Structures are given as C-alpha cells and as structure tokens.
Amino acid sequence: MEKVNGNPPFTMFSTLNPELDRRLGGGIPRASLIMIYGVNGSGKSVLAQQIAWGALQSNLTVRYISTETTIRALLRSMERLGFENISDYFLKGKFRVNTLHSKSIKWNRKVAKQLMSCLTYFIERLDNCDVIIIDSLTPIAIHSNESDIVEFFSCCRKVADETCKTTVITIHPGILTSVVFTRLLSIADGVIELKIVVSSRKLLRVMKILKMSGREFIGESIAAFEVEPHRGIKVLPLSYAKA
C-alpha cells in the first residue's frame, strides 16, 4: 500500500461517522471495490457522499462520477449534509466531479455498451485519485448486457489491486437478476444493502453490511439510520434495526 503524504500506509479510512464506521467494521477498506445497492430514496447517494467526505478528510483524493446530478447541485447537497467546506476541496482539485446527464441520452443497448466501455477506459487510466465513486451505475446498467455489468465490476476490482484505489458503485437492485447479483457479491470486497422498511407506521432506512473485506460480522452488521440536514447519516440505536 502506498504512503499518503509521508504518513504510514493505512488499510482503511474513516467515514467520519463513528457509529457508521463501527457497523462497517472500522471504516472503508482501501484498495477495494464496494457495492452499495438499494431502492430509490434508500440513501445510496448520501452514503456515497459520506464516504467521499471521509476520504477527503483522510487526505485522499476523490473522483465522483455522477449520473444523477450536476456539479453545482452535488456540492450544494454535500454542504446541506454538513460537509461545509466541500467547495474548497473542489477548488483545490482534491474532489473532482464528472457528470453524465443520463436523462438526456437516448438509451439503447449499443449506447449503454459504448458508455460502459468509456467508463472502463476512463477508470483504468484515472491518475491522481485514491477513491472513485460512481453514483449511480443504474442508468447505464439497466440497458447493459449482464456480462458487461459483471465485466465492469471485474475491471474495478482489478483497478483496486493494481492501483490501490477504492471504487464505490451505487446501483438499484431491481435491475440485477439473482445470478448477476451473486456474481457481483463475489467480485466486490464490500457489499452494503440499503432498504426502506415500515416500522410502527414509520418509514425507516436500514443498512445491512453483507460483506466487508474478510471481516466477520456478528449481530451489528445491521443499522437503522436517518438522514439529517447538517449531520448526514445518523445511525439509530440497534433496537430500531431489530424492530
């Protein structure tokens, strides 16, 4: 593992949310591929932004590839979540953002295949970056062949090994068949499932860590959480997740 600014090498970085780190088994592993999957509104983007923020605070450089929003809206959203000086990181080039305006694209299998190839090419050649966030892969993956999705995940896993980068991919579970999901589960180093559940007539967001780089999870791999302005993810007491 390479040294960061002369500091000793480290194998994981914090999300800057101690409760979240604890549920993750210590933080986000470096040189890894992490898949976050969940339905619309389950918190994929918020979690991805929390991970980006944690990486920046660990002096890592982040490349955020968004298919959902504009640069300005992303920076605003992160500010609203309490990551107040995110614009400074952006201006200093520590937080780089690429956006793909997926809604203006006339999608078909050929377009999706070409975009997946471009994304693969881009990621394989990305320099000066420690963490890559793809939020989300859904618009491309929904029109892609299953084998192309699996191949893309394999490419990101290879990039993790060869360049020590951490790649986080968010995706909607509805587009994955159980066979593809099982294959992605085995390729990724970390898999986080997000769900919206109804508990005592209240909507709750629940996160389940299905896998995280060889760490064994007993009992506390599940957490209910809320998204709070100025605070980001707030992990609720364990009793909420078990309810």
Ligand X SMILES: Nc1ncnc2c1ncn2[C@@H]1O[C@H](COP(=O)(O)OP(=O)(O)OP(=O)(O)O)[C@@H](O)[C@H]1O
* C-beta closer to ligand X: residue 14 or 42: 42
121-150: contacts with ligand X (CB under 6 A): 136
* C-beta closer to Mg ion: residue 76 or 158: 76
Q: Which listed range, 25-33, 40-48, 73-81, 206-214, lies at the site for Mg ion (CB under 5 A)?
A: 40-48
- Single residue of 46, 56, 116, 187 touching ligand X by CB under 6 A: 46
- Single residue of 42, 67, 166, 167 touching ligand X by CB under 6 A: 42
Q: Is 224 in the site for ligand X (CB under 6 A)?
A: no
Q: CB of residue 242 vs Mg ion: minimum separation in angstroms?
A: 27
Residue type, 137: L
Q: CB of residue 228 vs ligand X: minimum separation in angstroms?
A: 7
Q: Is 8 in the site for ligand X (CB under 6 A)?
A: no
The string of DSSP letters for the chain reads ---BTTBPP-SEE--S-HHHHHHHTSSEESS-EEEEEE-TTSSHHHHHHHHHHHHHHTT--EEEEESSS-HHHHHHHHHHTT-TTHHHHHHTTSEEEEE--GGGS---HHHHHHHHHHHHHHHHT--S-SEEEEE--HHHHTTS-HHHHHHHHHHHHHHHHHH--EEEEEE-GGG--HHHHHHHHHH-SEEEEEEEEEETTEEEEEEEEEEETT----STTEEEEEEETTTEEEEPPHHHHH-
Q: Which listed range, 24-32, 38-46, 82-90, 146-154, lies at the site for Mg ion (CB under 5 A)?
A: 38-46
Instruction: Please choose which of ligand X, Mg ion, none residue 145 contacts, taking the beta carbon within 5 to 8 angstroms, the exact cut-off set by kind.
Output: none
* C-beta closer to Mg ion: residue 45 or 144: 45
Q: Are 227 and 43 in contact (CB under 8 A)?
A: yes
Instruction: Please choose which of Mg ion, ligand X, none residue 41 contacts, taking the beta carbon within 5 to 8 angstroms, the exact cut-off set by kind.
Output: ligand X
Between CA 174 and CA 181, with CA 177 as vertex, the angle to 5 degrees is 95
Q: Is 45 in the site for Mg ion (CB under 5 A)?
A: yes
Instruction: Please choose which of ligand X, Mg ion, none residue 38 contacts, taking the beta carbon within 5 to 8 angstroms, the exact cut-off set by kind.
Output: ligand X
146-185: contacts with ligand X (CB under 6 A): 172
Q: Is 40 in the site for ligand X (CB under 6 A)?
A: yes
Q: Is 44 in the site for ligand X (CB under 6 A)?
A: yes
Q: Is 69 in the site for ligand X (CB under 6 A)?
A: no
**Strand duo 232-235 + 222-228: pairing:** antiparallel
* C-beta closer to Mg ion: residue 61 or 67: 67
CA 29, chain centre distance (Å):
12
Residue ranges binding ligand X (CB under 6 A): 38, 40-46, 68, 77, 80-81, 136, 172, 227, 229
